[in-house]
Amino acid sequence: MSTDQDKGPPDRRAEDRLWRFWVSIAAGTFVVASLLVGLVVLPLREEARFDPWGAICRAIGIRKDAPTATGKSSDPPASSVTWSEGTRLGLLAANPASGGTIVKDTCAACHGEAGVSVDPQQFPNLAGQTQEAIFKQLRDFQTGARTSDIMAPIAQALTEAQTKDVAAYFAAQKPVEAVGSSPSVSANIVELAHIGAPARGIPSCYSCHGQSRSGPEEAPVLFGQSASYLEDQLKKFASAERRNDMFARMRTIAKQLSPEEMHGMAMYYGNSRPAKP
């Protein structure tokens, strides 16, 4: 009934069909040409050999060629700890109470039953340290990524679940008040800790080790450690004697610091108190 009205007057139908035909051709050509340019021509301009099918696959994310892994990884990774879903769920499910039992038998002699070390210059305080940091270091001692004649056999005696429990126990302890009085460090050290040095590419310590913890999971709390322990670790990172920092983060930074700056940073963190929130 209404078909005649929809299609317009009978004498214009032929003209209409022709218009639709050419519009379809034009739109189709534009789409095909765009796809060709975007998926084939432009990607191919960068390729050494002519492989349009490979270019399309790469552009839309189904690569037919395997990643070009030239060279083999002969060195073991800096750390084999991965922050995968399994690791995170395991840390959440850790049992601090059973960790406490292990601590009494295994860790307390040096690190103290409540995580306050008997000799902070040698053995770091663990009370209030983050669970992630303790877990990662224990795993690295197990795998040999971080070397220590004392810690390696102790850590190797623990199962992975036990390392998570121990980490959860220490993380739940009340952190020590940092030793010493007001910081007697120079202004440029405080600036380095809080602002960093953009021209030298040194991020501030605060950006990863601060209370906001905006950086990597494993970055430990630095306040409350002994200054000589911190300086020792910085020097070991700088010389790459200690190399269990993922993606060489600390090695890169420590290499940039002068011996005076390392000493100043250690004094700053070793002698100041954490700000009360």
What is the footprint of other proteins within residues 93-152 (CB under 8 A)?
Answer: none
154 vs 30, 89, 116, 123, 195, CA distance in Å?
69, 24, 18, 14, 38
Minimum gap (Å) between residue 80 Cβ and other proteins: 6
What is the footprint of other proteins within residues 195-234 (CB under 8 A)?
Answer: 196-198, 200-204, 206-208, 210, 212, 214-216
Q: Which is nearer to other proteins, 83 or 114 (CB)?
A: 83
What is the footprint of other proteins within residues 53-72 (CB under 8 A)?
Answer: 55, 58-61, 63, 67-72
Q: Which is nearer to other proteins, 25 or 35 (CB)?
A: 35
Q: Which stretch binds other proteins (CB under 8 A): 33-41, 99-107, 150-158, 172-180?
A: 33-41
Q: Which is nearer to other proteins, 28 or 77 (CB)?
A: 77
Using N-to-C axis directions, what is the helix angle for 227-238 and 249-256, rounded to 10°? 100
Q: What contacts 203, CB < 8 A, 6 or more positions away?
A: 196, 253
Q: Which is nearer to other proteins, 65 or 149 (CB)?
A: 65
Angle at 152 between CA 123 and CA 225, to 5 degrees: 20
Q: Which is nearer to other proteins, 54 or 175 (CB)?
A: 54
Residue 258 in the binding site for other proteins (CB under 8 A): yes
Residue 78 in the binding site for other proteins (CB under 8 A): yes
Among 23, 25, 27, 37, binds other proteins (CB under 8 A): 37
148 vs 107, 158, 272, CA distance in Å?
15, 16, 28
d(CA 212, CA 197): 20
Q: Which stretch binds other proteins (CB under 8 A): 12-20, 35-43, 106-114, 183-191?
A: 35-43
Residues found near other proteins in the complex (CB under 8 A): 37-39, 42-43, 45-46, 48, 55, 58-61, 63, 67-75, 77-85, 196-198, 200-204, 206-208, 210, 212, 214-216, 246-249, 252-253, 255-256, 258
